[in-house]
Amino acid sequence: MTIDALAANAAAPTGMYTTTTTSTTRTPKQSMDSEVFMSLLVTQLQNQDPSSPMDTNEMIAQTTQLAMMEKLTEMATASQEGFSLQMRTSAAALVGETVTYTNADGDEVTGLASSVSFAGPVPIVTVNGEPVALDVISGVTNATAAVDDSEDSAEATTAA
């Protein structure tokens, strides 16, 4: 193995610490994953007292905890993906609808949603040519219902 290969391996993340390429300081990971859990279990097994080895029930309990942690992580990922899909579906359903949102000045703006972009983490709806984040939209009105309502109120005013 060459010295370059050793240097590359030294910069790779190990255990519960990661090494950044710009500096040699190690920063702790923000969450424990199965790699960290297994690393702790192996370290515990390597450093156990030979005269009183780890209880098999304790080892099974820790292995079960690892499996539970992995399943919870999978569930969290599936939940995040489901929420993302729901946001995209909701944003796509707004096209052609009249929406209301509060702009940066704090003014309430109403306009027709003409398109949606899914480039970022939050879908961007184009309203009257302006990009608006989905989470800023505060109301939705069916565009044809809004036209019908204005015609009905005009007819009511004319009839009175």
Backbone angles phi, psi at 51, to 5 degrees: -80, -20
Name the pTM for this structure: 0.52
User: Going from the N-terminus, what domains does the chain have, and what CATH number goes with each?
Assistant: 94-159 (2.30.30)
pLDDT tens digits, residue range 13-23? 444 444 455 55
Residues 6+ apart with CB under 8 A from 138: 100, 101, 102, 108
pLDDT tens digits, residue range 52-64? 777 788 878 888 8
Q: What is the pLDDT of residue 157?
A: 45
First to last CA, the chain: 93
Residue 6 has pLDDT above 70, yes or no: no
Residue 121 has pLDDT above 60, yes or no: yes
Q: Are 94 and 113 in contact (CB under 8 A)?
A: yes
89 to 37, 107, 132, 142, 158: CA distances (angstroms): 37, 27, 16, 17, 41
Two structure tokens written together for 39:
């690393």
Average the pLDDT over 33-39 and give the result. 76
- What is the Cα–Cα distance from 22 to 11, expressed in whole angstroms? 10
SS3 call for 56: helix
